[in-house]
Amino acid sequence: MVLYRELHRPQFHFSPRENWTNDPNGLVYQNGVWHLFFQHNPEATVWGNMTWGHAVSDDLMHWRQLEHALYPDEHGTMFSGSAVVDHENTAGFGKGVLLAFYTAAGEYAKPKRPYTQCLAYSVDNGRRWTKYAGNPIIPWIEAANRDPKVVWRSGTRQWIMALYLAGDRYCLLNSSDARTWTRFQELRLEGVSECPDFFPLTDESGTERWVFWGAKGVYLVGSFDGRQFSPETAALICERGRNGYAAQTWSDAPDGRCIQISWMAGGQYPEMPFNQQMSIPVELTLAGSGNEVTLVRWPVRELDALRQRTIRLERQSITAGSPLVAATDAKLLDVSFTVSRQDANALYVMVRGQPLVFDWSSKELRFTNSPSHKVMPDRLHVMLPDDPGLSVRLLIDTTSVEVFINQGLISASFCFLPNGYVDPLVLQSYDGEQTVDNFDLHEMASIWT
């Protein structure tokens, strides 16, 4: 098999050259380069021996995998964490140095140790990393505390760390030098564990809001003055579907953008040299204001550069026995359309032989072929809005479908393996009529050249 051209290799989603990958780590932008670190087992296609893999991109699409960044040591294996640019030399390693914060999973050290939080730094734009001699910077607090996410708050000139504790509990810590940390608040996300994220966004009224995010796509929106995060919404669910997990945002993204990527957890890649993939990067914004505010996720504009041949159709009526068959043989697709239900009970979007079902009667989106991984029951049920018409965008890769409804107000991630098919994309109805408008299909190029 030719590398990056294997049967089940994603062609416009990131996957490692070989072996296992899971959570995205250390996402940071510096000097025109997007850094993607990731949980990686360099020795096998199954989980274990956690090491930080490393890939870089100039455009968030085309990735070049580099040498591994952080290897297991006497403190433990390298679990998840984050990275920042130390613009003001707060840590004393120099201006513009990259700082990486990670969990040393002492359970896997010999002899065993507790889980602690550690620091590494790079003075050459992330190519080589030095672990801080004073590690750990945060001693064990409780259980398997892990996954430090660090952000700079300029108003109080402090680093803020979100850290997972145990159960559904997290905490916030602060530091002026990135090495000495003080815990100041505890938070809960019911039913959620692991991989916190904490970042500011501006709502539609122009007010700065802060988002506290957990691994299962559940989040709170509130205010943060540097001393206290005050939630102003109930817990909301943003990333639905069976396979989106452990999403993180990039630090120091240019132009005020907030860019996020997820592990598409639990995908199946039989007998491939690699295992697991990342989602497409999405841009996050806030819709609404006050306590009526919600996160919106939309594929980054850089994806458009991969578009090749385009098929556009005007209004199409879909009835039993009269489907919409896309005139393409391509497997890599970026498809958008609006659909009006009329009197149909469901729209079946057949993706390479597998049914993605928009069930109008139950107001639910289903993709039954998709495997699940660590998701909450209500995330499996992607509820559709009670609207007569929906706008839909589908990103279809070799082994995944990502769905964005009503300009990203609803999003969901699914992994799959194809079934038998004649046409790679068919929209059909088994009873009643529905109408599809503004159908645009873009055949996509591979990112692996």
DSSP-assigned states of every residue in 91-113: TSS-TTEEEEEEEEEGGGSSS--
Q: Which candidate, 252, 249, 277, places its Cα nearest to that of 263?
A: 277
DSSP-assigned states of every residue in 331-399: S-EEEEEEEE-TT-SEEEEEETTEEEEEETTTTEEEETT----S--HHHHSEEPPS-SEEEEEEEEETT
Give the pairing type, strands 425-428 and 346-351.
Answer: antiparallel
Residues belonging to the active site: 23
Q: Which residues contact 304 (CB under 8 A, 6 or more apart)?
A: none
C-beta separation of 10 from 17 below 8 A: no
C-beta separation of 393 from 403 below 8 A: yes
Q: How far is CA 234 from the centre of its chain?
A: 22
Question: How far apart are the C-alpha atoms of 323 and 319, rounded to whole Å?
Answer: 6
Give the pairing type, strands 274-275 and 425-428.
Answer: unpaired
SS3 at position 205: coil
Q: In degrees, to the nearest 5, what angle opens at C-alpha 41 toward C-alphas 78 and 105? A: 25
C-beta separation of 437 from 372 below 8 A: no
Q: Which residues contact 362 (CB under 8 A, 6 or more apart)?
A: none
Give the pairing type, strands 19-30 and 274-275.
Answer: parallel
C-beta separation of 3 from 46 below 8 A: no
